[in-house]
A and B are shown apart, each in its own frame.
Chain A
Amino acid sequence: MATSERLVITSTINGEERTFLADSRDSLLEALRERLNLKGVKEGCNNGNCGACAVILDGRLVNSCCVMAAEIEGSTVRTVEGLATPEGLAPLQQCFLEEAALQCGICTPGFLMSSTALLAENPAPTDDEVRFWLAGNLCRCTGYDKIILAVQAAAEQMRTLKK
C-alpha cells in the first residue's frame, strides 16, 4: 500500500529561512501555496507547459509544479512575493503596470519571475532574446507585445540604476 510521509523542510524563501511541514507527495507549487501561503505562485496547467508557477530555485528558473517540495531542503527559493521591497515595487513590476503588460494577471507572477531570471543573466537582451526566454510562459490576454515592451523598459531602468 502506497503511503506518503510528513516532512519537516528548511529552506530560504525570499531571503528568510523558513521551516515548514509538508507531505512527501507535495509539489513545490503546492507547498508554496498551501504550506507557506505564497499565493502569488499560480497553478496553470500543472504539467510544465504554461510557466504560471515559475519560481527561481537556487538561482535557476524552474516550474514549481515540476519540482517536489522535498527537493528544496537546504535550497533557496524566490517567488513573486520576494520582488518588491518596503521602498516599492521592483522595476519589472512597475514597468508591467505602466506598459499594461497584464489583463487578467494569472500569468503575471510567472512572467515576472522568468523576466527576473532573464535580466539577471542578460541585462541587455534583444527583443528576440526576450521572446525566446519567455516562450515557456503562456498568456491568453496580452498578445505578448506589451510584455516584451515592459521587460525592455525595466531592463533599461535597471541598467541606468546600476550606472
Chain B
Amino acid sequence: MQALRYARATSIDEAVRMLREGGETSRILAGGTDVIVQARERRRVIDLFVDIKHISDVMTMEYDAQRGLTVGAAVPLYQIYGDANVQRVYPALRAAAHVIGGKAIQGRASLGGNLGNASPAADSIPAMMVLDGVAQVAGPNGRREVRVDAFCTAPGRSVLQPGEFIVSLHFAQPAAHSGNAWERFIPRNEMDIAVVNAACALTIEGDVVTAARFSLGAVAATPLMVPLAAEALVGRRLTDETIAAAGAAAKETATPIDDMRGTVKQRKHLADVLVQRVIRAAVEHARAN
C-alpha cells in the first residue's frame, strides 16, 4: 500500500475541511471496496483517506410516501436491498444492489461509492438514472445537487470538483401506475461485471405508456440514457411491436467497444434484449402497484 494517512470525519463540514486541507490527493473513504484496491494497486495517487462513515447523513436511509427515498451515500448495499420500501417501490434499485459483488462486498459497498467511482459498467447507476436520482453534493463552495444522469463524464470521471463528495442520493416517489426494473447479462450466475445492464422506469394508463426512462450500462464511456427508446414507447399502446421498437432504439443508441467481457455485436444485441425485458418487468411492477 502506498503511504497514506487516515482521518475520521464526524460531520459534513469536517469532511469538507479535511478534504480541502488534504488537497487533491485526499480521497473519500466510504465502503472502500474500490478505492482501497485502487490505492493498493497504485491506480490512484492517494495520501489521505477521509472516512465519512461516522457522519449520520451519509449513513441513514429514509423513505416517505410523499417525499420518496433518500439514501446516505455510504449506506451499505445489504441495507438497501433488504429494505421493504426499496423492494416494493424501487425494485430496479433493489435488483442492482443485490448482485453487486458477494456478501462481503455488500456489507460495505454503497451507492455513493458506485456513482463516485463512475465506471461505465457500474450496476447501480442505470437504476439510479431511470429513477430520476439526484445526488446531494458537499464541497468547499457549499452544497449543490447533481442529477445522476448528468454525473458521469468519462470512465472513472465525473462532474465532482476537487474537494466535493456525495452526501446522499434522492429518488422521488414514483407517480401512480408506475413501475421500474433492472437487469444485467453476465456469462455466469453470480459475481461478475456486467457485459450490459439496463434499467427502465415507466408509467402506464391502461395499455398506454405515458412516461418512460431508459438507461444502459457498459455500452458507452459512461452509463447512458436512451431517450430514443422512450420516444418509441411513450404515447403508444404496449404491444410486442412497440416493445421491440424500444429495444431496436436501444440497440441503435448503444456505442459499445470490444473487450474481454463482450463484443460490439453481442453488446448491441444485449441492449435490445435487456431493454425489452426491463419493459415487461416494469409493466408487471406498474400493474401490481
Contacts and interface: CB of A to CB of B under 8 A. Distances in A.
Chain A bound to chain B: yes
A67 B76 contact: no
B104 A63 contact: yes
Contacts of B25: 2
Q: Chain B at the A interface: mostly helix, strand, loop or mixed?
A: loop
B51 A4 contact: no
A67 B40 contact: no
Interface in B13-53: 25, 29, 31-33, 36-37, 40-41, 45, 47, 49, 51, 53
Interface stretch (A47-55, A79-87, A96-104, A143-151): A47-55
A70 interface: yes
Interface in A50-99: 51, 54, 57, 60-63, 65-68, 70-71, 73
Nearest to B46: A2
A4 B46 CA distance: 11
A46 interface: yes
A47 B78 CA distance: 20
Contact of A4 (B4, B76, B104, B190): B4
Given A48-B101, A67-B108, A136-B104, A25 B37 contact: no
A61 B36 contact: no
A24 B104 contact: no
Given A48-B105, A62-B108, A114-B103, A4 B36 contact: no
Greatest chain B CB density within 10 A among A7, A68, A114 is at A68
A61 B47 contact: no
7 contacts: A2-B3, A5-B6, A70-B49, A71-B51, A71-B53, A136-B101, A136-B102
